[in-house]
Amino acid sequence: MHSPPAVVAFTAQRSNSHSYRETKGGSRAWWLGKLFGLFAMGHVWEKHGLQHPLGNDSKGFVDVIIHDLDPDDLRELAHTIPFEMVKEVLFVGNHDELAGQFEAFARNGLEHVVLANITGVVGGMDEIMARGLELPVLKNVLSDL
């Protein structure tokens, strides 16, 4: 039996992808969002000139157990993670930007996407309230791909 191509995609809806990049370094939302870079595999960290905290042989998401890591170390680490690396494990932007990011996947046979919407991790309740009504719009835009 053939299963249709599918993906689970972590998404953070923002007014645009630049607003995620510009979230200021002192806020909790900023460093929580940047820490999604921990889920990138070690070779991705290496490509950005960094050492994954679990070593560059880390498989990222499957190896990271956040609760085993020291919170103070994580706060310091967040400042070193570039936004470009975070975008390798997290889809960020408004519904049009997100659709653009998924368009190549659809052209290459992706039929189903499960959105793991983590908007509130970056921006908190204010961002959830501001972006909540955009999720159905994103669904419709993705359905048209």
Give per-residue pLDDT as tens, 36-59.
899 999 999 999 999 999 999 999
pLDDT at 90 over 80: yes
pLDDT at 21 over 60: no
DSSP symbols for 33-62: HHGGGGGS-HHHHHHTT---TT-TT--GGG
Mean pLDDT of 28-42: 82
Mean pLDDT of 97-117: 88
Percent of the chain with pLDDT over 70: 82
The rounded distance, in Å, linking the Cα atoms of 84 and 11 is: 15
pTM of the model: 0.76
